[in-house]
Structure 1
Amino acid sequence: MTENEIAREIVDAAYKVHTTLGPGLLESVYEAVMYYELQKRGLFVLKQQPIPVVYEDVKLEEGFRADLIIEGKVIVELKSVETIHPVHKKQLLTYLRLTNNKLGLLINFGALLIKDGISRVVNNL
């Protein structure tokens, strides 16, 4: 599957989860349900995957944790907040650069309409 095909499945899953549960729950709830929904669709999903960060000669085995990595190609950063701030997109772009992935989705389950809560972030795509 290409990054865009995977993204379509993720967006569809997010829509289903959001319309079923509604906005305003804890991020951890949406993470668990998205993990379940994406696996149910036959996708390989890693949850809270530690990602190393290398700086000069220093390697941090766990520089950050990616909320979800789907098929090893798309990183999903989940939020459940009233407003997405520019730093959230910058954070995801940094994750993409550090993992050499090309596509990330920032999904805010706090949005009233899920279509308003999904942002694509690309790294040389």
Structure 2
Amino acid sequence: MVTKKYLDNLTYEIIGSAIEVHKTMGRGLLESVYHECLKEELRHRKINFLAELKLPVIYKKKLLNVDFRCDLFVENSIVAELKSVHELIPIHEAQLLTYMKLLKCPKGILINFNSSNIFREGQKTFVNEYFSGLQNE
């Protein structure tokens, strides 16, 4: 059963993985490089994920032809959206929140590898109504 504590621990592992990638690779590379490195780091830590997951958009019981893909869907519980940009802007947050809603996912992490410190300024964590309904332990 997924709990808030489980998601918090998983969030810690995902951010720790991103920090390890950032320490090893530095900043200034393309997002695709960080994506591959983070996938490798998650595998090393034995954390399951789906990469480039195509998200279904259903309207009135009809599957629409919308091509949304989230970077990583970790342990069927957390969406991780990766960027390598000068600064995060509201559209990046909207993208993550959209993916969380479509997947009915309680937590999401936006990670910007083009920052000097992933922990302090390179990541933002989001929760939604699915998170508030979970048990603590």
Provide the residue aligned with 1:97 in structure 2: 101
* DSSP-derived class of the 1:111 partner: coil
Residue 128 of structure 2 aligns with an amino acid whose one-letter code is N
Provide the residue aligned with 1:106 in structure 2: 110
Distance 1:63 1:17 in 2: 28
Residue 118 of structure 1 aligns with an amino acid whose one-letter code is Q
Residue 23 of structure 1 aligns with an amino acid whose one-letter code is R
Aligned residues: 125
Superposed, 1:34-53 pairs within 5 Å as 34-53=38-57
Calculate the TM-score normalised by the size of structure 1: 0.94
Deviating runs (4+, > 6 A) in structure 1? Answer: none
Distance 1:121 1:112 in 2: 21
Aligned: 1:123 with 2:128: yes
Q: Of the two, which has the highest radius of gyration?
A: 2
Pick closer, same or farther for the CA change 1:84–1:61 going to 2, 3 Å. same
Q: Contact (CA 8 Å) 1:105, 1:119: kept in 2 or not?
A: yes
Deviation at 1:58, TM superposition (A): 2.8
Deviation at 1:11, TM superposition (A): 0.6
- Structure 1, unmatched stretches of 5+, are none
CA deviations on 1:2-50 (whole Å, 9 max, x unpaired) are 2111111001001111011111100000000101100111111111011
CA deviations on 1:76-109 (whole Å, 9 max, x unpaired) are 0000000100111111111111110000000000
Superposed, 1:14-29 pairs within 5 Å as 14-29=18-33
* DSSP-derived class of the 2:57 partner: strand
Distance 2:98 2:117 in 1: 27
Distance 2:56 2:65 in 1: 4
Calculate the TM-score normalised by the size of structure 2: 0.86
Q: Contact (CA 8 Å) 1:50, 1:61: kept in 2 or not?
A: no
Distance 2:10 2:46 in 1: 11
Distance 2:36 2:10 in 1: 18
Provide the residue aligned with 1:82 in structure 2: 86
Q: Contact (CA 8 Å) 1:44, 1:70: kept in 2 or not?
A: yes
